[in-house]
């Protein structure tokens, strides 16, 4: 099975990328990712707070980007995380000059202000994308959250503004708290395959509605997770938690098992597989509400442990 694909205009030998994570802060780990056969690498994110408040952090990030570019031959995608356009025009250019093959914008914003409406949140993102597209020549991907009232409309706007790719989704990290000490508890839990379903559904919905490349990020831990992602319409799959948990070698295993599955099921190219389960490629007569109703009806009272007690 020919696994070659294209993402952000970059021709890749297969769809398995390393998503943004702390792994790229260590040069030896970057080399291990390349040895494992990774198709492309997304760097750890530089936060807008670091750009605006800490003069040395942006320079350190640019130096690491240049070191990674010197170390590996695969495409390297820089990552910026924030919600405002201030300072990003200049920094987008610096990232490009440092050798990044593309830029991933992680728009992580939790709307907590009762006076900020949904339109304002979306408008800010669209404006940032417009500014960056005017200032850089390298491809731009936008990493989104699922918490928009009309995600296909926003995706279409970003598509029209020239976003080269959409990454679905960033993870919503939530602090816990200690009732006794009244302290917040910061703890990060790695993803598992249960997080895949939300991403599959939205990739499938957007696959035939935008021209931008689609990357699925979150919940891919096994080869069948990746098969489902591509069948939904993803051009690439970003691995993070699987790499953090099992190391770069898991990418090699997932890629080989993916290829074996494709061969065993008669697929000669990944393009033949892509989108088979997208909303357009597999349209249910009753649409989304039909799915909703049938899922509810799939529960049977006899399966409940409380029945008869």
Least confident of 12-16, 124-128, 221-225, 273-277: 124-128
Indicate whether 32 belongs to any domain: yes
Q: Is 155 within 8 Å of 206 (Cβ atoms)?
A: yes
pLDDT for residue 56 is more than 90: no
In a domain? residue 290: yes
Alpha-carbon gap, residue 61 to 43, rounded angstroms: 9
87 pLDDT higher than 70:
no
pLDDT at 255: 98
Domain annotation covers residue 38: yes
Alpha helices in the chain (DSSP H): 27-35, 48-53, 56-71, 88-97, 118-135, 151-160, 196-206, 223-232, 241-246, 249-264, 270-273, 287-297
CA distance 254 to 222: 6
Kindly report which listed range (44-48, 99-103, 160-164) carries the lowest average pLDDT score: 44-48
Residue 292 reports pLDDT greater than 80: no
Q: How deeply is 41 buried, as exposed, middle or buried, from its count of CB atoms within 10 A (0-12, 13-18, 19+)? A: buried
Average pLDDT over residues 93-120: 90
Q: What is the CATH number of the domain that holds 158?
A: 3.20.20.70
- State yes or no: pLDDT of 50 exceeds 90: no
3-state secondary structure of 176: strand
Whole domain around residue 42: which residue ranges?
5-299
Q: What is the pLDDT of residue 240?
A: 96
What size, in residues, is the chain?
309
Q: Give the pLDDT confidence of 19-47 residue by residue, as tens digits.
A: 999 999 999 999 999 999 999 999 999 88
Q: Quick one: what percent of the chain has pLDDT higher than 90?
A: 66
In a domain, 182, yes or no: yes
Residue 187 lies in a domain: yes
Q: Which of 164, 213, 207, 173 is CA-nearest to residue 191?
A: 173
User: Does a structural domain hold residue 307?
Assistant: no
Tell me whether residue 10 is in a domain.
yes
pLDDT of residue 54: 64
Q: Is residue 156 a part of any domain in this protein? A: yes
In this prediction, what percent of the chain has a pLDDT beyond 70? 89
Beta bridge partners of 20: none
| pLDDT tens column, 254-281 | 999 999 999 999 999 999 999 999 987 6
Residue 285 confidence (pLDDT) above 60:
no
pTM for the whole thing?
Answer: 0.90
Which position has the higher pLDDT, 191 or 269? 269
For 75, residues 6+ apart whose C-beta sits below 8 A from its C-beta are 10, 12, 39, 40, 41, 101, 102
Instruction: Give the total number of structural domains in the chain.
Output: 1
What is the spatial distance between Cα 149 and Cα 154, in angstroms, rounded to a whole number? 9
Q: Choose between 136 and 90: higher pLDDT.
A: 136
């Amino acid at each position: 099975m020919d696994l070659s694909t294209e993402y952000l205009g970059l021709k890749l030998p297969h769809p398995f990328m390393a998503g943004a994570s702390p792994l790229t802060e260590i040069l030896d780990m970057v080399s291990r990712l390349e040895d494992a056969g990774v198709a492309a690498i997304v760097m750890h994110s530089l936060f807008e707070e670091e750009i605006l408040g800490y003069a040395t952090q942006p320079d350190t990030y640019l130096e690491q980007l240049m070191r990674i570019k010197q170390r590996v031959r695969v495409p390297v995608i820089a990552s910026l995380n924030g919600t405002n356009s201030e300072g990003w025009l200049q920094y987008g250019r610096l990232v490009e000059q440092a050798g990044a093959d593309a830029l991933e914008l992680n728009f992580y914003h939790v709307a907590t202000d009762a006076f900020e409406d949904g339109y304002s949140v979306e408008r800010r993102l669209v404006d940032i994308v417009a500014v960056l597209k005017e200032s850089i020549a390298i491809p731009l991907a936008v990493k989104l959250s699922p918490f928009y009232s009309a995600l296909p409309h926003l995706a279409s706007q970003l598509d029209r503004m020239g976003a080269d790719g959409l990454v679905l989704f960033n993870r919503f990290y939530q602090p816990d708290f200690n009732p006794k000490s009244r302290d917040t508890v910061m703890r990060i839990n790695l993803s598992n395959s249960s997080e895949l379903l939300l991403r599959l559904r939205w990739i499938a919905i957007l696959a035939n509605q935008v021209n931008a490349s689609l990357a699925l990020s979150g919940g891919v831990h096994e080869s069948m997770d990746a098969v489902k992602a591509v069948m939904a319409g993803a051009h690439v799959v970003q691995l993070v938690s699987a790499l953090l948990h099992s190391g770069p070698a898991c990418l090699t295993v997932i890629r080989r098992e993916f290829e074996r599955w494709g061969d065993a099921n008669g697929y000669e190219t990944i393009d033949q597989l892509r989108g088979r389960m997208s909303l357009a490629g597999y349209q249910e007569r009753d649409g989304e509400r039909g799915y909703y109703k049938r899922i509810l009806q799939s529960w049977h009272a006899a399966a409940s442990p409380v029945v008869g007690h």
